[in-house]
Amino acid sequence: MPRKPLLCSILFFVFLIAGCQLKRRSVVRRPRLVVGIVVDQMRWDYLYRYADRYGEGGFRRLLRNGFSCDNTLINYLPAFTAVGHTCIFTGSVPAFSGIAGNDWVEQGTGQRMYCTDDSAVLAVGAESAGSKEGKMSPRNLLVSTITDELMLAENFRSRVVGISLKDRAAILPAGHTPTAAYWLADSSGHFITSSYYMSSLPAFVDSFNRRELVKQFVSKPWNTLYPKSSYVQSDVDDEPYEGKFRGDSTPAFPHNLDSSYKVAKSSFRYTPDGNTLTLDFARACIDGYQLGQRDITDFLTINCASTDYVGHQFGINSIEIEDTYLRLDRDLATFFDYLDEKIGQGEYMVFLTADHGAAHAVGYSQNHDIPADYWNPGVVAEGLNDVLGHAFQTPGLVDTISNYQVTFCMKTIRDKKLDFNAIKKVAVEWLRQQPGITYAIDMEKVGELPVAEPVRSMVTNGYYSKRSGAIQLIPNAGWFETHGKTGTSHGTWNPYDTHIPLIFMGWGIRQGHTNEQVHLTDIAPTVAALLRIQMPNGCVGKPIVGALKK
C-alpha cells in the first residue's frame, strides 16, 4: 500500500479511538469533587434547635439548596464513633465490616484492640516514629469503602484524603487505598499520619503545622459568641451535670484555655476551635493536592470532632454546645464559599451527616422529671463476677463489660472445662434483674428470644463474633454507660442516639426533603449511584433515589 493512504488510515483509526475515549468520558459524568462531612455527635434536631441564629451560608444553605433526609436512622449497635464513620463510608454494618466499636476485646485471645491500631507501621510527622499517636492504619476494616470504590473505578487516578482530629475518623472513611489520611497529635498540636500512607509529610502539611495554630487558639479564652443571656435554647450556665476543663474551678464561661492546655493538651479538642482548625486544614489539603481541579473526581472526607468532645464534657443542653454549633455554622459557610470559588458552584457534591447523636445529661433529665440514670459497667462487671464466682467456684469469669456487651475470660473457661452456656444463662438471669437493664441478650440465641424490633435487628447487625461480647445489654431509655456523672454519652438504640441529620447538596442532587425512613447504610450506595460506580463490597444499604436528579 502506498505510504500516503497508509498514513491516512492510521490517522483515521487514531482519531476514531480518541473520539471513542472522549465520548466515553463525556457519558460518565461525575462531579469534580465529593466532600463527605461528618459532624461528630450531631443530633438531627440541632438543625432546627438553633436555626433562628444560623446564618444563610451554613446549615441553612444546606437545607435550602440540598436534599434533606429528615428520618435518617442508625440500624446497628453500638452507636459509637468508629462504627458510625465506617457505616457511612462502607454502607455496611459491624457484622460484616468487623469494626465493632471504638475498641474491643479479641474474643479468641482476650487481647484489647483499638479500632485502628497497627503495630506494623510508624508515625509520620509525630515527635518520634515510634509514637503511638501515629501507629495507625485501616487494616482492621474488613470491607471496602466508597472512597476505595472510586479509586478502583478510576484506576487509582483519583485522589482521596481523610481529615479529622481523631485518628479513627480520618482513617476509616478514607479506606484502604487513599492518597492520605491525617489526624491531630495532641503532643505537638500538629497533623500527622502513618507510614501506611507515606514516608514523610508533604511540604504543604509541614508548612501548615509550622503555623502552630493550636497554640494560637488556646492563647485566648473561650467566651460566648453572643451575650450569655441570649442563649435561650440552653440551660443556665454552671450546672452540676457539666464537666470542667482541667485546671478550671467552674464549668462556666469564660474558659481559660491557656491554663487548661498546659495541664492537658487534649483540652484543645473540647473547644469549637477544633472544628475551625479541621476546616482550615481541609482547605490546605484541597490546595495542596489540587483536589477537584483535574478531570478526575476526587474525594475529601472531613470529620468535625469537637462537637463530640464538647457534648461529652458539658452535655447537649449546655451553652457550650449551642455556642459550638453557632460557630460551626459560620465555619461551614466559609468553607462552602471557598469550595464555590475554588471548585465552582455546582461542580462539587457535599453531604453532611453524623456518626451518632447523644442523650440528655442525666442531671438535666432528672431535673425535668424524665426517667434517666447512670450505668457504670465496672460496678456491674464486679457484681456479675461475684455471682459467677460463687456459682462456678471460679473467680474472674467476666473479662470486661464495654460497648454494652459482656466479654468473658474464654481461656479460663476452656482451661477449667466449664459449661459456657450455663455461665451465660446465670449471667443473663442476674443481669436482667439489675436496675436500668431492659434486655440482657445471649447473642447465640437472639433469634429465639422475645426481643422487640428494632432492637433485635440492630443487635444482630452489630454483632461480629470475633470482636463482640457474648451478651448484649440494652439499658432503659435515658440510661447510659459512664464512669462519671457529668456531660453526656451515646451508644444505645434510642432515637436520641440514632436519629441523625443527612443532607446532600450540589452536583447531581435535587432540592427537597423526605420523611421516609432511610438508614446510615444508605449513604454509600447513594454516592455510588451518583458517581456511577460499584457500591462497597460489604454494602447492605440502598440508594436514596429521591435525592438524585433524573
Can you name the residues that pair with 351 across neighbouring β-strands?
36, 504
Does residue 81 carry a catalytic annotation? yes
Model pLDDT, residue 5:
53
pLDDT at residue 22 tops 80: no
pLDDT digits (tens, 9 = 90+) for 323-356: 999 999 999 999 999 999 999 999 999 999 999 9
pLDDT at residue 8 tops 70: no
pLDDT digits (tens, 9 = 90+) for 346-388: 999 999 999 999 999 999 999 999 999 998 999 999 999 999 9
Q: What is the distance between the alpha carbons of residues 169 and 167, in angstroms, rounded to a whole number?
A: 6
Cut 0.85: pTM above it = yes
Residues of the chain with pLDDT > 90, as a percent, come to 92
pLDDT at residue 2 tops 70: no
Class for domain 373-476, per CATH?
A: alpha beta
pLDDT digits (tens, 9 = 90+) for 111-125: 999 999 999 999 999
Q: Read off the pLDDT of each residue in 501-513 and give the average, rounded to a whole number.
A: 98
Check if the beta carbon of residue 183 is closer than 8 Å to that of residue 126.
Answer: no
pLDDT band at 249 (very low <50, low <70, confident <90, very high): confident
Q: In the CATH hierarchy, which fold is given to the domain comprising 31-201+269-350+493-503+512-547?
A: Alkaline Phosphatase, subunit A (3.40.720)
pLDDT digits (tens, 9 = 90+) for 33-87: 999 999 999 999 999 999 999 999 999 999 999 999 999 999 999 999 999 999 9
Check if the beta carbon of residue 462 is closer than 8 Å to that of residue 95.
Answer: yes
> Which residues have a Cβ under 8 Å from the Cβ of 458 and sit 6 or more positions away?
74, 75, 76, 77, 493
Give the domain ranges of the chain: 31-201+269-350+493-503+512-547, 373-476
The one catalytic residue in 72, 81, 271, 526 is 81
Model pLDDT, residue 9:
53
Model pLDDT, residue 164:
98
pLDDT band at 28 (very low <50, low <70, confident <90, very high): confident
